[in-house]
Amino acid sequence: MSVLRGKKILLGISGGIAAYKTATLVRLFIKAGAHVQVVMTPASKDFITPLTLSTLSKNPVHSSFYNDEDENAVWNNHVELGLWADLFVIAPATANTMSKMVTGNSDNLLIATYLSAKCPVYVAPAMDLDMYRHPSTQDSFAKLEAFGNVIIPAESGELASGLYGEGRMAEPEHIVAFLEKDIEGKLPLRGKKILVTAGPTYEPIDPVRFIGNHSSGKMGYDIAVAAANQGADVVLVSGPTHLTINHTNVKLVRVTSSSEMYTACHDYFDGVDVAIAAAAVADYRPKHVADQKIKKNDSNLVLELEKTTDILASMGEKKNGQFLIGFALETENEIEHAKAKIRKKNLDLIVLNSLNDAGAGFGHDTNKVTFINSRFEEEPLALKPKEEVAKDIINKIKEHYNV
């Protein structure tokens, strides 16, 4: 999964021959899972049509403040465009456009939008060799970077003039790779290693039957994605679930039983900074597992159960600086039981679910939780989608590390 997934990217196109490459660039942004809008200078439409870009981006293309052919046309609000974007990529950025960005010469919609943008701005220059090397252009580069913009270096190669040298706009694939690397390098949890458990465990009775629970694993999977999106390297130890995950920062380890989950957790626990135990691990398992399917001979079947090893408590006993987060699913005396778990299992934070709250617990896309830290400070949250709860949990980790 690309770090660009879900990002709102505003692509600004100025009037250079390299504008023809922006069709590929838009396509790559969409393929990475981004939402794309395009704003063009009037001159850029000589090199690529707005129809092509609107078709690829699935959004209208903006190139002027209003449509002078329609007296009822709505004003294209450059402020709204600038505030909409998570990233503003100007490619190609001609010497003319960069000069206007430096001086604030707002004579077209692209420059007006740039001056209104609050998001990171990336500039991909494209021009001939001598223009690229000219002191005025180099001065524009320096001032743009001083403003906080990021320059995507031009590449060397054959230029439209027939000369060979520096000044080619970076290839679309290289622009996407540059953005991904730059964003990943600035993520707050980059370099942190996080262990997450998810889903149920199945404790075998015989080769066919098992003891399990209704956990879907969604909460743990959402936590893993939220952590990975913040730059963490995540190991997700998952019990049986239909869920899948596709993220370059997530290593998925599938297990079935509580003993397998215990082993997997302790294989990784010493090497992580954070462990989040979101799995619904079975508390008991059959003491004796039948080698063959148990036949339905008697009207009653008696199973002798034994306690499973408490994975979270075992990590709490072993922890050496890790930030340890547990979950508690309760039906009565919720706060008291959750606080007791913090003490008993040596936790830094517990995420309390109550089955008495509508929309919380197993089988829902939403959750309603209360955070309780090791100082027993309570922070109840409203009912919200599990993806948002996952982000709240990751924010607690960021607070812990002051990032």
Sign of CA dihedral 354, 355, 359, 361: positive
Catalytically annotated residues: 213
HEC secondary structure over 105-159:
CCCCHHHHHHHHCCCCEEEEECCCHHHHHCHHHHHHHHHHHHCCCEECCCEEEEC
Cα dist from 96 to 120, 122, 140, 266, 392, whole Å? 21, 16, 10, 59, 44
Helix (H, G, I), strand (E, B) or coil at 226: helix
Cα 224 to Cα 241: distance, rounded to the nearest angstrom: 15
- CA 303 distance to own-chain centroid: 45
Q: What b/e string do you get for 80-91 counting C-beta neighbours within 10 Å, with b at 16 or more?
A: ebbebbbbbbbb
> Which of 315, 306, 200 has its CA nearest to residue 255?
200
Cα 298 to Cα 276: distance, rounded to the nearest angstrom: 43
Sign of CA dihedral 313, 314, 318, 321: negative
Cα 142 to Cα 379: distance, rounded to the nearest angstrom: 47
Q: Dig out the tokens for 223 from the structure.
A: 């936590």
Q: Dig out the tokens for 334 from the structure.
A: 């919720």
Place of tokens 């006993």: 317
Strands of the sheet with 35-40, listed across from one edge: 61-62, 35-40, 8-13, 87-93, 121-125, 150-151
Q: What is the DSSP string of 17-44?
A: GGGGGHHHHHHHHHHTT-EEEEEE-GGG
**Continuous H helices in 172-322:** 172-185, 218-229, 258-268, 311-318
Q: Kindly give, in sequence order, each residue whose CB lies less than 8 Å from that of residue 281, ignoring residues fewer than 6 positions away.
A: 197, 200, 201, 239, 258, 261, 308, 311, 312
